[in-house]
Structure 1
Amino acid sequence: MGSLSGIFQRPVIAASAVALASVSSDLRDKIWPSKPLDTRLSSEQSSGYISNLISETKWAHISDNSFSKSFATKSLIPIPNFRHPMNNVDNNCLSNNMAYYVPSLEHFLNVYQSAQLANAPRPIDYTSRVSNATSTDAVYRWHLPQPNAIDLPTNSKTVVVLLGWLGAKQKHLKKYADWYTSKGFNVITFTFPMAEILSYQVGGKAEQHVDLLVNHLAEWLDEECRKNLVFHTFSNTGWLIYGAMLEKFQRQDHTLTERIKGCIVDSAPVAAPDPQVWASGFSAAFLKKNSIAAKGYRNTDEIAAKPTMTEAALLVVLEKLFHVILNLPAVNQRLSNVLVQLKSRQPSCPQLYFYSSADKVIPAGSVESFIEVQQQMGRVVKSCNFKSTPHVDHFRHEPELYTTQLSQFLNDCVLNSCRHN
């Protein structure tokens, strides 16, 4: 399919103008990248670490006895190969060309420079290879386990992959990553810049980013047979990305899906290409806290709340737009393939669903119907209806219930399987 930017961006921007009074001030950041990241480094950094960055090493081994008395003295930090040419590099300066060829270079240098792991480890970014990429535009970010985490030796063999919702940024997923790393898990947070979703094309840049993550995870799993994956998806966007990753895992090596030990689905799914759901999701991404999707309810008056006139106008335009887009042959076929994967070809691992009767984007009935189908297929399925919390906001509104349910699921369904293996 050709780029959707022509048929997609213009109506969305026009609809956004209708809702201008309600759109938050950072809408521009969602659609157009912000200022480039300053990648200038000191002469000490460049002279001390440049040889390491251009080496053939796949994985950086960092030794530190203070990391944990009960943990191995060598800890693996995943760093991909960089074999790109670097021009005009000497002992005193690094050319700005490095910002183009080596994504998030400064983060890697920080890891090398402070490889004691006595404090909470710095995250590692993998960014798009574009000259104006920023840390908030990272394709994905790797978060290391906290050194004082409980069950560190066991849980550090598992990577939790957090797949963000539409419009999510790395900072929005940090609280989830922090909770997992405090338990000793490795974590990857994955988000798409809004611009890439607006200009989506089958096989284009967005899917190339998914390929990059799948290949990295496959390499990490290949290092040791006891390593495992857990996926935690948000909204239909994260859930569909999960389905695309499952496709690629099975195409690359079907045994990789056996290493997936659990899947947590937050605020999803609607297992059909529904224009109304897509319109609601994009409206919420544009309007953020001004959207009705960001509001739960505590009483009957709030249940009956209606969107503002500007949001209602935006929803009308978006719904008509997605009615056309979702019926385009290439788009419809791509979505159908992913949905079939998620409905009937998921791994046999346990599943946990977080949803809410108050969700204005994903109807609770759609989630419950999908859960029933999965149970009929013999899957181990757990669920929790938060009743009154908004879309993808259950953790913030009910943190104790959210983490209790999550801990119980991980202990009862996921970690026991990992320990057995």
Structure 2
Amino acid sequence: MGSLPGIIQRPLVAAAAVVAASFSADVSGKFSSLRSLGRVSESQEISASFSGSVQNEGSLWVSQVLVSKLANFSFVTRIPVPIPNVSLPAPSSSCNLDISATSLSTLRSLYQSAELTKASKPATFTNGSSTLVPDVSYRWHLPEPNAIDLSGSPKNRTVVVLLGWLGSKQKHLKRYAELYTSRGYHVITFTLPMNEILSYQVGGKAEKNIESLVCHLADWLEEEQGKNLVFHTFSNTGWLTYGAILEKFQKQDPPLMGRIKGCIVDSAPVAAADPLVFAAGFSAAFLKKNSIATKGSTSVSGIKFSEPKPAATETVLLSVLEKFFEVVLNLPKVNRRLANVLEVLSSEQPKCPQLYIYSTADRVIPAGYVESFIIEQRKAGHEVQVCNFISSPHVDHFRNNPELYMAELTHFMDNFVLSRPRHS
């Protein structure tokens, strides 16, 4: 679409002015104090992380894995050298392997040196612990040691791909990744930085980051038979990213579509490019907790109280953004690109179970849009599960009701994803 940054500069400057006006004059003072506290906590976290890693060296999760299973961990693409043939005593079912510190260090080094070919940035491997690393577009999370299933469960060969919402960072997706790693799944978390979306160009950096993820997933799937994917998307940004991934799979290697065994959609979708939805999403991303989108609905015995109203500054911001997206979404290249992706999502999804998690109280993507899409997917023959959280805000269902959220995910994965026949 040529130079989109030039097109969006003026309306975004106006929007930025409105955002700035919504904060009180003492923000800078509070920010300074928070920043000083952040430095202290950061140094403490680094120290704790370092000392913890040294102390836990002897209890590394590799020590819990049978020798016969070690070769399976070459699923991380392009290990530069093979797993070494470590001479170990034959283990029994009642004891853990006694692996020397040198062997553990070697195995961990080999595993974490996995080379992600065709990727613009190296992914970071984490195993339940918090790591202070620069934000990257995607990151691999290993299952927690006590959740690894050695009985040949399909969990061992399934990767859950989490696609973040507008403005999300890796730290935000970490809590969702832990829902899966605590149950023995491998997870990849993917985010698109806000600046890449604001400066979006067809074929630009955002799409190149998606291309890198697609190439990595394709390489991993093609290494051997039996590996599968589950996608978990958040909001409109994660949903559209999923559509772009499906589109690239179809073009590069259509059989890969059959390796997608489930799709979980949180706080989406919208079947068409609606300027009001885009405006609400960007307003929420700009204003964060100051946005009306972060407020759910409250009721007692089915009786609703008066709904909160957006502040005057947010009303102005929404109006500016809506006018802006009325123009941008109708630019020929942008309109054509969105139409292609939305067509894939509406009519060309893989034949796998789908779970839609949404809320009647969502002020960014109305529940009616989600329910209309669900009806069409069922008409097309897809197996669809739904859960309406009723009162929780946009992309905030897990925080508002973690027990129900975890129960829905577990039920869906166990009964509709893992239990289905596996065909490569």
Show CA shifts across 1:64-94 (max 9, x none): 7514349712313635699xxxxxxxxxxxx
Show CA shifts across 1:118-140 (max 9, x none): xxx999997659xxxx9443010
Q: Which residue of 2 aligns with 1:165?
A: 165
Q: Which residue of 2 aligns with 1:331?
A: 334
1:384 aligned onto 2:382: no
Q: Is the 8 A contact 2:77 2:216 kept in 1?
A: no
Q: Is the 8 A contact 1:123 1:144 kept in 2?
A: no
Q: Is the 8 A contact 2:75 2:223 kept in 1?
A: no
Show CA shifts across 1:338-387 (max 9, x none): 00000000000000000000000000000000000000111000000000
1:349 aligned onto 2:347: no
Higher helix share: 2
Alpha-carbon separation, structure 2, partners of 1:320 and 1:191: 27
Q: Which residue of 2 aligns with 1:401?
A: 404
Q: Which residue of 1 aligns with 2:63?
A: 66
Q: Match for 1:233: what amino acid? A: T
Alpha-carbon separation, structure 1, partners of 2:305 and 2:197: 32
Is the partner of 2:74 in helix, strand or coil? strand
Query: Normalising by structure 1, what TM-score?
Result: 0.77
Q: Which residue of 2 aligns with 1:174?
A: 174
Overall identity of the aligned pairs, in % = 60
Q: Which residue of 2 aligns with 1:76?
A: 74
Show CA shifts across 1:274-318 (max 9, x none): 000000000000111110101111136655221101111100000
Q: Which residue of 1 aligns with 2:138?
A: 140
**Equivalent residue runs for 1:81-96 within 5 Å:** none
Q: Is the 8 A contact 2:63 2:104 kept in 1?
A: no
Q: Match for 1:364: what amino acid? A: A
Alpha-carbon separation, structure 2, partners of 1:124 and 1:184: 23
Alpha-carbon separation, structure 2, partners of 1:71 and 1:374: 43
Is the partner of 2:147 in helix, strand or coil? coil
Q: Is the 8 A contact 1:234 1:268 kept in 2?
A: yes
Is the partner of 1:148 in helix, strand or coil? helix
Q: Match for 2:63: what amino acid? A: S
Q: Which residue of 2 aligns with 1:305?
A: 308
Is the partner of 2:210 in helix, strand or coil? helix
Unaligned runs of 5+ in 1: 29-62, 83-111
Q: Which residue of 2 aligns with 1:43?
A: none
**Equivalent residue runs for 1:193-272 within 5 Å:** 193-272=193-272
Q: Is the 8 A contact 1:351 1:380 kept in 2?
A: yes
Is the partner of 1:189 in helix, strand or coil? strand
Q: Which residue of 1 aligns with 2:365?
A: 362
Q: Is the 8 A contact 1:137 1:192 kept in 2?
A: no
Q: Which residue of 1 aligns with 2:292?
A: 292
Q: Match for 2:318: what amino acid? A: L
Change in 2 beyond 3 A, CA 1:127/1:174: farther
Alpha-carbon separation, structure 1, partners of 2:423 and 2:217: 22
**Equivalent residue runs for 1:10-21 within 5 Å:** 10-21=10-21
Offset of residue 21 of structure 1: 3.9
Q: Match for 2:234: what amino acid? A: F
Unaligned runs of 5+ in 2: 32-59, 81-102, 123-131
Is the partner of 1:296 in helix, strand or coil? coil
Q: Is the 8 A contact 1:265 1:354 kept in 2?
A: yes
Show CA shifts across 1:97-128 (max 9, x none): xxxxxxxxxxxxxxx995666xxx99999765
Q: Is the 8 A contact 1:233 1:266 kept in 2?
A: yes
Q: Match for 2:266: what amino acid? A: D
Q: Which residue of 2 aligns with 1:100?
A: none
Q: Is the 8 A contact 1:145 1:156 kept in 2?
A: no
Alpha-carbon separation, structure 2, partners of 1:168 and 1:223: 31
Show CA shifts across 1:311-344 (max 9, x none): 1110000000000000101100000000000000
Alpha-carbon separation, structure 2, partners of 1:284 and 1:367: 19
Q: Match for 2:353: what amino acid? A: P
Alpha-carbon separation, structure 1, partners of 2:212 and 2:67: 33
Q: Which residue of 2 aligns with 1:275?
A: 275
Is the partner of 1:137 in helix, strand or coil? coil
Offset of residue 390 of structure 1: 0.5
Alpha-carbon separation, structure 2, partners of 1:369 and 1:249: 26
Is the partner of 1:73 in helix, strand or coil? helix
Alpha-carbon separation, structure 2, partners of 1:247 and 1:339: 10
Q: Match for 1:8: what amino acid? A: I
Show CA shifts across 1:171-211 (max 9, x none): 00000101101111110000011111010000111111111
Is the partner of 2:184 in helix, strand or coil? coil
Alpha-carbon separation, structure 2, partners of 1:355 and 1:321: 27
Give the length in aligned residue pairs: 351
Alpha-carbon separation, structure 2, partners of 1:333 and 1:283: 24
Alpha-carbon separation, structure 1, partners of 2:340 and 2:346: 10
Largest Rg, 1 or 2: 2
Alpha-carbon separation, structure 1, partners of 2:249 and 2:365: 27
Is the partner of 2:390 in helix, strand or coil? coil
